[in-house]
């Protein structure tokens, strides 16, 4: 019985470790920076040969034109889901929905803006 | 005289088992400081940030042995921004750039050591299960259509180079992919990158079976030196 409990506890702990939620800052730094840049201004290391330049997340004017729902959708399902570039891939298999929600809030901090402001 | 004749035989008899073990001995001595050889793949971002080289725990599922032998004797960078790319970029004038000063050259092995190491690496097959799921048909495809799919329809060139100076920098170059990698690995990794590396910075683009096949043909054409027209 004790062994069974230990096994279940270990399995649960392992599962928590394996799927621990990462912070938006850390996710942005790992995944988004490659295209959107260290400053978040759309000037990532990959941009030179891109036919469409990545969104400048510090641009309050353009970012305030996107609702939180739209930002969530484009992160999860990729550019074409909101009629934007294929170069923005779908990250739904990388981030949990909670992590994407946090990323949306992180984008709001980068642009210092809200939808419609 | 007889003793003189026997000496080389004794030497060979002693040396033979030692040679057989050399590959793993070299790996444990020289490779494990930068490469994971036993798994599991990184489960957290902090582990990803500490990456210094590719995960070799499934090297036998991934690489072509002949390529490994050759590359280890004359290593050339495959990932323009190294691994983990985030540790090797900096803000540039127009956009972020690779911080070359932070990138280190891979060690060079002798032919004998490269052969022994490659042989041992090919024994590391953590993901036979994933490889077994790939059913690829031998064949060739249109290079032009392949490039159109890779570049325009899937957008993969955002992160990968399709020739030495064209494409993105955060992923490995793909114009040598077919020389380096087993076709089933290419298909499987694109199909589900997170099954191999849960925290990889390559997204799952849900590429169809038919397009996976076309990508493998495209990489064959690129590696055969028939690069694109750009």
CATH of residue B107:
1.10.760
User: Which residues, including other chains, have CB under 8 Å from residue A115's CB and lie 6 or more apart?
Assistant: A64, A65, A66, A67, A68
Name every residue whose Cβ is closer than 8 Å to that of residue B168 and which is 6 or more positions away in sequence.
Answer: A34, A35, A45, A46, A49, A50, B157, B158, B159, B160, B161
pLDDT band at B16, cuts 50/70/90? Answer: very low
| Region of poorest pLDDT, from A17-26, A35-44, A75-84, B57-66 | A17-26
B14 shares its domain with B117: yes
Residues of B with Cβ-Cβ distance to A46 under 8 angstroms: 158-159, 168-170
Please indicate if any CB of chain A lies within 8 Å of the CB of B98: yes
Domain boundary among B77, B92, B121: B121
Which of A7-16, B37-46, B119-128, B159-168 comes out lowest in average pLDDT? A7-16
Q: How many CB pairs under 8 A join A and B?
A: 98
In chain A, which residues have their Cβ closer than 8 Å to the Cβ of B41? none
Average pLDDT of span B158-186 = 97
Portion of chain B with pLDDT greater than 70, in percent: 89
Residues B138 and B117 in one domain: no
Q: What mean pLDDT is predicted for residues B93-105?
A: 97
Confidence bin at B141 (pLDDT 50/70/90): confident
Chain segment A64-101, per-residue pLDDT in tens: 999 999 999 999 999 999 999 999 999 999 999 999 99
Whether residue B112 is contained in a domain is answered as: yes
B138 occurs within a structural domain: yes
> In terms of residue numbers, what domain contains B160?
134-223
**Which one has a higher pLDDT value, B225 or B17?**
B225
Residues B155 and B112 in one domain: no
CA distance B112 to chain A (A): 38
Q: In angstroms, what separates the C-alpha of B123 from chain A's closest C-alpha?
A: 26
Residues B214, B146 within the same domain = yes
Whether residues A93 and B194 touch (CB distance < 8 A) is answered with yes
CA–CA separation, B174 and A114 (whole Å) = 40
pLDDT score, position B57? 97
Residues A35, B162: Cα–Cα separation, whole Å: 17
Taking alpha carbons only, the member of B65, B41, B18, B93 closest to residue B200 is B41
Give me the percent of chain A exceeding a pLDDT of 90. Answer: 81
Note whether B171 and B77 are same-domain residues. Answer: no
A47-69 pLDDT per residue, tens: 999 999 999 999 999 999 999 99
Q: In this structure, what CATH number is given to the domain that contains residue B180?
A: 1.10.760.10
Go through the domains of chain A in sequence order and give each one's CATH number: 22-111 (1.10.760.10)
For chain B, state the CA radius of gyration.
Answer: 20
Same domain, B157 and B71: no
Same domain, B15 and B116: yes
Q: Which of A11-25, B94-108, B124-138, B145-159 has the lowest mean pLDDT?
A: A11-25
Q: What is the pLDDT of residue B225?
A: 74
Neighbouring residues of A65: CB distance < 8 A, sequence distance ≥ 6 = A115
Q: Mean pLDDT across chain B, nearest whole number?
A: 90
Q: By three-state DSSP, how is residue A26 classified?
A: helix
B6 with B117, same domain: the answer is yes
Query: Is B230 within a domain?
Result: no
Which of A18, A40, A49, A57 to mutate to test binding with chain B, by most B CBs within 10 Å of its CB?
Answer: A49
CA dist B199 and B137 (Å) reads 30
Domain annotation covers residue B115: yes
Query: pLDDT category, A117, cuts 50, 70, 90?
Result: confident
Same domain (yes/no): B9, B97: yes
Of B121, B143, B172, which closes a domain?
A: B121
CA distance B72 to B117: 9
Q: Are B55 and B114 in contact (CB under 8 A)?
A: no
Distance CA B89, CA B158 (A): 16
Number of domains in chain B: 2
Same domain, B114 and B65: yes
**Residues of A with CB below 8 A from B49's CB?**
30
Taken in order A75, B162, B106, B70, the sign of the CA dihedral is positive
Instruction: Decide if B28 is inside a domain.
Output: yes
Residues 6 or more apart from B186 whose CB is under 8 A from it?
B177, B178, B215, B216, B219
Q: Is the pLDDT of residue B120 over 80?
A: yes
Q: What is the model's pLDDT at position A7? A: 53
Last residue of a domain, one of B93, B121, B149: B121
Using CB atoms, pick whichever of A20, A27, A49 lies closest to residue B157.
A49
- Cβ–Cβ < 8 Å for A27, A21: no
């Amino acid at each position: 019985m004790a062994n069974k409990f230990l096994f279940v506890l270990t399995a649960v702990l392992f599962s928590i470790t394996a799927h621990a939620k990462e912070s938006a800052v850390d996710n942005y730094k790992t995944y988004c920076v490659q295209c959107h840049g260290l400053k978040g201004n759309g000037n990532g290391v990959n941009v030179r040969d891109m036919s469409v330049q990545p969104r400048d997340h510090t641009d309050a004017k353009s970012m305030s034109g996107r609702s939180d729902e739209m930002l969530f959708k484009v992160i999860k399902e990729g550019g074409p889901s909101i009629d934007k570039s294929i170069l923005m891939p779908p990250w739904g298999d990388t981030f949990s929905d909670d992590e994407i929600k946090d990323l949306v809030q992180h984008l709001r901090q980068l642009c210092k803006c809200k939808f419609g402001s | 005289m007889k003793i003189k004749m026997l000496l080389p035989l004794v030497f060979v008899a002693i040396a033979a088992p030692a040679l057989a073990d050399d590959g793993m001995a070299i790996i444990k001595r020289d490779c494990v400081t930068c490469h994971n050889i036993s798994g599991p793949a990184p489960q957290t971002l902090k582990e990803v940030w500490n990456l210094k080289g590719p995960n070799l725990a499934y090297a036998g599922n991934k690489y072509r042995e002949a390529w490994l032998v050759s590359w280890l004797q004359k290593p050339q960078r495959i990932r323009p921004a190294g691994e983990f790319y985030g540790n090797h970029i900096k803000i540039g004038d127009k956009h972020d750039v690779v911080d070359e000063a932070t990138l280190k050259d891979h060690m060079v092995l002798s032919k004998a050591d490269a052969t022994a190491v490659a042989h041992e690496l090919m024994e590391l097959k953590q993901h036979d299960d994933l490889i077994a799921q790939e059913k690829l048909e031998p064949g060739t495809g249109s290079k032009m259509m392949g490039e159109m799919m890779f570049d325009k329809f899937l957008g993969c060139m955002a992160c990968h180079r399709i020739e030495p100076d064209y494409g993105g920098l955060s992923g490995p170059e793909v114009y040598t992919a077919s020389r380096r990698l087993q076709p089933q690995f290419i298909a499987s990794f694109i199909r589900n990158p997170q099954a191999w590396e849960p925290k990889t910075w390559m997204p799952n683009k849900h590429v169809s079976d038919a397009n996976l096949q076309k990508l493998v043909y495209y990489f064959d054409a690129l590696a055969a030196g028939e690069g694109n027209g750009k």
